Amino acid sequence: MQMPSVQMLAGGEPIRVGSIFCIGRNYAAHAAELNNPVPKSPLVFLKPASSLLASGGRVAIPAASKDVHHEVEVVVLIGTGGKGFSTEEAVDHISGVGIGIDLTARDIQSRAKEKGHPWSIAKGFDGFAPLSALIAPQAVGDLTDLSLSLTVNGEVRQSGTTANMLWPIADLVSYLSSIFTLYPGDLVFTGTPEGVGPVESGDQLQAILGDGIVTLDIGIE
């Protein structure tokens, strides 16, 4: 069995993935659409590496859920690890940028929230972390004003910009490094803008970074 890995768009060896950090409620309009308060510090959770899915893949709706939602997110790859980076230093630790979808079994997550339980199952099924190939941050330009969007069967469902993040990407990487030692190959899903909604069997999803510098295409089984 192959270990979960990601690929740079420019080619090269697959990059073995370590931890997958995810940020919840990083866009005020998305927090509001789910009636969640805006957090006082970044809301962090993790997905298992087994949830990764490359572009072109297909994901099954798990039998345990009747309400799987799409959440399009900018994803960054940690290139140089370490701990305790300042916001200024953080950008130098990012070696790749891509577009991903934080698939979420909303019904399972809602029940977990009610009980104060973790979200790991709701967020962690096989294929629940589709991710595009990654490009060098220099090729993307300004990480603080990067557009992202998602279409379902060709219809735009989510469209946003990282300019609306509560915590910009560099702040998130700095914050994570204040708690966790980061390793090369770690990924950060940086939160979703508003417009999340359910996917159905047969849907075709396309996530787009910027003007289409990288795209991600997946099907729902």
Which lies closer to Zn ion via its Cβ, residue 102 or residue 186?
Answer: 102
Our finding on whether 149 is near Zn ion (CB under 5 A) is no
Among 71, 128, 162, 174, binds Zn ion (CB under 5 A): 71
3-state secondary structure 42-90: CEEEEECHHHEEECCCEECCCCCCCCEEECEEEEEEECCCECCCCHHHH
Which lies closer to Zn ion via its Cβ, residue 185 or residue 191?
Answer: 191
Query: CA-CA distance, 124 to 141, in Å (whole number)?
Result: 31
DSSP-derived letter for residue 36 is P
Which lies closer to Zn ion via its Cβ, residue 136 or residue 159?
Answer: 159
Tokens representing residue 134 in the block: 């990654």
- The answer to whether 99 and 209 are in contact (CB under 8 A) is yes
Among 102, 127, 160, 177, binds Zn ion (CB under 5 A): 102
Our finding on whether 158 is near Zn ion (CB under 5 A) is no
Which lies closer to Zn ion via its Cβ, residue 48 or residue 81?
Answer: 48
Q: Smallest distance from the beta carbon of 84 to Zn ion, in angstroms? A: 25
Footprint of Zn ion on this chain (CB under 5 A)? 71, 102, 192
